[in-house]
Structure 1
Amino acid sequence: MKALIVDDEQHVREAIRLLTDWRKLGITELLEADNGQTAAELIDAAHPELLLTDMRMPIQDGVKLLEYAQKNHPQMQKIVISGHTDFELVRSTMKFGGQDYLLKPIDPTQLSEALTRAVASWHQAEAERQSNHKRSMQMNQIKPVYWDKVMSGLIANPPEYPVRLRSQLIDEFGEGVTEECRVAIISLDSAADAILNRFLDNRDLLFFSLANIANEFLRRSNRGLACRNWNSDQEVLVLVWSRTEELPLLLRQISDGILQTFGTRLMIGVGSTEPFPAGAARSAKEARTTLLLRNMRVKNRWIHAESEPSGASRMLRLTDSTELFRVALLSGRREEIAKAVGSWFTAVQELPCITWEQVLSWSEEWRALLAKLRRTRHGSDLGADEAGERQTERCIPLHADGSVDLGKWADEFSASLEQLLGEQERCQREKGSMKDIARYLEEHYSRDLSLQDIADHFYLSREYISRRFKQEFQENLSDYLGRVRIGKAKLLLQNPNLRIVQIAEMVGYPDEKYFSKVFKKLEGKTPGEFRREL
């Protein structure tokens, strides 16, 4: 084990070294630092198991160091040795996981006892971490995955042979499996952005963690099973098959476990008690309904065991305000956009009840409305990368208390419309630049122009010019240039004193044969035939 001693006074650090039999405690390496910043760097580099720190130090004090250690190395045991009895320092010590607060001058007996407790606590916590790791390994075997699949299928459709399935469950989980059940759903739609982003690339791990927390409580008395719902990317199932009337209490314990692990709670819907296993699907459906009909204006209510009345919120439809948003966008003014969004959210704010079902409906209506406005403003030929298809995984902002954040949501509405306005302005600029290119072609048609020459002249990429020019003029740039050259050639052919080879060179075709080929392709006749018909 390693210990880190942090104090800005060298004689204090030396005293701590000399007052303790470190080897007897199992500590084989002592590290030192004279301020919190240096100590934090040592902690990251050496990962000591034990921290002894002063509180008043230059550069970075002990409070900041404890906060950093608790956040980044919570398993490390922390002891404060300070010359101050300030209550705030003691409170900070407890807040950030300090085990003891010792006063200077250092009492050898107190120091020894504090270190003994800290070392014992670390070993106990390490044993628990190893045990948890072992359980996690066991949960990750084939059998739990199999039962996840079984339970997901069970709540999707009633089993064809319920007696056989119940017998199989009894063989696996014991005689505690009764003839009734109750299903709860832990929903990720209420998850904080921090959780979703943390598990953005590993959603399976998030489902596993949530199910594991719930199973810690369920399996203590063989009450049921928690698993991922493989039919949804937003649900963890909690199925209880004994003492179903106690499920709300059990869910409160599970909710506390989620809070302790992730620092936030998740919404949980509860279904009714039904025959097991045939009624599990019906109970799950009811649990899902309670979540959809929960009032998003109520704060800190995380467990929903019965449906709530939706009130008048169903009568307010976002599509009824389509013209309001369209006119605001047409105005080209951000003030009008803010006014339109504010008007809509004022109406929302006046609703006594806003259900999650209504929130989801508004979200879908908003996406459809944006797509419609985008098509109207830009046309259907806009590239997919420019069509605003930039939806994040969760676009409905929530407060930490679980209620919908209407202020932030209004800001996101405004931002979406302003983005659309920006696309409109950019599209106009792009159209202008394509017209400049067309004008350039008409003025320099006699030169040997390549797409790269044009790209270099306008500081744009060849691919971008090629794509945007065709969108604007409905033909390739080379075809457009050919039409310009042949149009000029037709005028020059009216002068009988100019030979065809001269005219070809004058309009940018050094090769007379190639000029004649292009002329005939566009006009249906050769330059000589065209001249004779004049």
Structure 2
Amino acid sequence: MKVLIVDDEQHVREAIRLLADWKELGISEIYEADNGLHASELIEQVHPEILITDMRMPIQDGVKLLQHAQEQCPSMQKIVVSGHNDFELVRSTMKYGGQDYLLKPIDPVQLTEALRKAIQNWHKVDLERRVNQKRSMEINQIKPVYWDKVMSGLVADPPEVPSRIRSMLAEEFGEGVTAECRVALLSLASAGGAILRRFRDNRELLFFSLTNICNEFLRRGNRGIACRYWNSDHEILLIVWSRTEELPGLLHEINSGILQTLGSRLDIGVGSAQPFPAGAAESWKQAKRALEERNMREKNHWIHIGEERHQPAKELHISDYEESFRLALLSGSREEIASAVDDWLAAVGGLAIVTWKQVEEWREEWRSLIRRLGRRMDDSVDEEGEALAVPTRPAPLDPDGCLSFPEWGKELRESLEQLVREHNRAHREKGSMREIARYLQDHYSRELTLQDIANHFYLSREYISRRFKQEFGENLSDYLGRIRIGKAKLLLQNPHLRIAQIAEMVGYPDEKYFSKVFKKLEGKSPGEYRKSCGEGL
């Protein structure tokens, strides 16, 4: 189970981490964010079961975060921790599904009690969700998965023995299977955002829902079959073998059924009539091209016939604007980033025809550009040398299925701003490690442990250990040891200081251990080193 802690004050987040026995509660992953916007991004990435948030934060406050969490993850359990006993904040907490409102300073007993209740509520909701999901799948799954694979094979690998396929279909579906077929293609990539959000946690259920809606119409009069295309993670095939000339009208009825059930229509590509079953693959290719080459600038219809093909008026590439995006990133200015994005969108907006295939190519170009720019901004590259990962999302569409320029612009700006944040975060982390290095240089004579340093800087031991080695190329203990031995070498040149005194002065109460470390680093004992210094003089 995962929990997300959101507060703009680091010591508050650290306190919450320390006050609860997470292992005993069954929570294995803890994430942190210092504002609502960052938290919203983490919610989409890691899907935590429990959210603990402050209400008053910069950039985006807790009220907007709770609203976002309620819309995106209604099953998430929400606990508010605030320093303000404000009725409006409490009301907002309840409005957006908050279970508890705890006041700072945080009482460990109250926090643990709130977490236990949140965990119990989540398991209850999850159980109900899984029971309903299983029931829906059992009700809606009206054909064996075997037939999905068989029908997918018709378009992926045309049968060598058509008569055998026809015999199998006739046995399953009756004698209505004719010598001709048409293939229609329904792609989840063209589904509206509302549908994808609704089924985000269970894509399988979305496939079941759509194929069952389609089959309700196709089974009437034994017209054909709808099935999941197993060679793709987002396509549904509709193979029609009866009254193929009436298929466009039938698809309009199917789309109306999808609208009534799921609240949105979908674009459907249609191929031409071909011999069945050998020609199913060619009809599918035509249907796929019809979807890929439909015009995303305007919506004339939802059914796209294979013969109706749109070609872009001119070529336009993201790489043509790479320098503009790079300079905007280097500026770190939201205004410059927005201006660079607007220039790109204006260029796209000047095209009369923008095909789906073109949009997908641009989006792949964009992902490559972000990775490339991330590598050029070296601080945004992690220790394995991989640049900032860019999430793959469906293309932003408006309710009519057209390319949504506002949503696309928002997506582009967010990915650039995230890159800037990662760049700035890396610089801040380097600054923290340099502060720790200065602290070691100033306090080398003390008995210092990694836990002492972690407590002093309000950071975890694991984080300091990992980041310090990344920054300085050696462990913190080795770095401290070199400082101490360097100071000891200077002190050994004074013949009036005993070696035991020097050891204690540089942070080693145990003279034998000091001698062991000294010899390991210098190749000789402290006494031998002192003697060599005397000879040199």
Write the deviation string for residues 254-274 of structure 1: whole angstroms up to 9, x where unpaired. Answer: 111111111110110011211
Change (3 A) 1:139 1:423: closer
Could you tell me whether the CA contact under 8 Å between 1:188 and 1:267 is conserved in 2? Answer: no
1:311 paired to 2:312: yes
Deviation at 1:411, TM superposition (A): 1.9
Could you tell me whether the CA contact under 8 Å between 2:372 and 2:387 is conserved in 1? Answer: no
Deviation at 1:458, TM superposition (A): 0.9
Change (3 A) 1:202 1:236: same
CA distance in 1 between partners of 2:293 and 2:188 (Å): 16
SS of the residue 2:377 aligns to:
helix
> Partner residue of 1:112?
none
AA matched with 1:427: A
SS of the residue 2:489 aligns to:
helix
> Partner residue of 2:405?
406
Matches within 5 A, 1:121-520: 140=141, 143-299=143-299, 301-306=301-306, 307-313=308-314, 315-379=315-379, 382=382, 388-389=388-389, 391=391, 393-394=393-394, 396-520=395-519
Deviation at 1:526, TM superposition (A): 1.9
Matches within 5 A, 1:103-114: none
Write the deviation string for residues 296-339 of structure 1: whole angstroms up to 9, x where unpaired. Answer: 012252110024222234x1010221111111111222222121
Deviation at 1:137, TM superposition (A): 5.0
Q: Which moved more, 1:417-426 or 1:245-254?
A: 417-426
Write the deviation string for residues 48-81 of structure 1: whole angstroms up to 9, x where unpaired. Answer: xxxxxxxxxxxxxxxxxxxxxxxxxxxxxxxxxx
TM-score, length basis structure 1: 0.71
Q: Which moved more, 1:448-457 or 1:415-424?
A: 415-424
Could you tell me whether the CA contact under 8 Å between 2:381 and 2:387 is conserved in 1? Answer: no
CA distance in 2 between partners of 1:384 and 1:366 (Å): 22
> Partner residue of 2:8?
none
Could you tell me whether the CA contact under 8 Å between 1:181 and 1:240 is conserved in 2? Answer: yes
Could you tell me whether the CA contact under 8 Å between 1:272 and 1:286 is conserved in 2? Answer: yes
CA distance in 2 between partners of 1:291 and 1:532 (Å): 85
Deviation at 1:524, TM superposition (A): 2.0
SS of the residue 1:326 aligns to:
helix
Could you tell me whether the CA contact under 8 Å between 1:213 and 1:254 is conserved in 2? Answer: yes
Please tell me whether Structure 1 or Structure 2 has the larger radius of gyration of its CA atoms: 1
Change (3 A) 1:368 1:392: closer
CA distance in 2 between partners of 1:467 and 1:299 (Å): 53
Count of residues in correspondence between the two structures: 399
CA distance in 2 between partners of 1:197 and 1:269 (Å): 23
CA distance in 1 between partners of 2:254 and 2:511 (Å): 85
SS of the residue 1:471 aligns to:
helix
Could you tell me whether the CA contact under 8 Å between 1:292 and 1:356 is conserved in 2? Answer: yes
Write the deviation string for residues 84-141 of structure 1: whole angstroms up to 9, x where unpaired. Answer: xxxxxxxxxxxxxxxxxxxxxxxxxxxxxxxxxxxxxxxxxxxxxxxxx999857636
Change (3 A) 1:135 1:426: closer
Query: What percentage of residue pairs aligned between the two structures are identical?
Result: 64
Write the deviation string for residues 375-433 of structure 1: whole angstroms up to 9, x where unpaired. Answer: 22134751689964362542x21100010011221122112111211222222222111
Deviation at 1:480, TM superposition (A): 0.8
Change (3 A) 1:404 1:206: same
CA distance in 2 between partners of 1:383 and 1:342 (Å): 34
Change (3 A) 1:134 1:199: closer
CA distance in 2 between partners of 1:176 and 1:428 (Å): 69
Deviation at 1:248, TM superposition (A): 0.8
Change (3 A) 1:301 1:385: farther
Structure 1 runs, 4 residues or longer, greater than 6 Å off? 133-136
CA distance in 2 between partners of 1:458 and 1:230 (Å): 53
- The two structures, once aligned, show a CA RMSD in angstroms of 2.2
Deviation at 1:224, TM superposition (A): 0.7
TM-score, length basis structure 2: 0.71
CA distance in 1 between partners of 2:139 and 2:363 (Å): 41
CA distance in 2 between partners of 1:523 and 1:372 (Å): 44
CA distance in 2 between partners of 1:485 and 1:219 (Å): 82
SS of the residue 1:402 aligns to:
coil
CA distance in 1 between partners of 2:320 and 2:277 (Å): 45
Could you tell me whether the CA contact under 8 Å between 2:195 and 2:263 is conserved in 1? Answer: no
Q: Which moved more, 1:385-394 or 1:224-233?
A: 385-394
Q: Give unmatched runs, 5+ long, in structure 1.
A: 1-132
AA matched with 1:213: I
Q: Which moved more, 1:246-255 or 1:191-200?
A: 191-200
Change (3 A) 1:385 1:186: farther
CA distance in 1 between partners of 2:349 and 2:330 (Å): 26
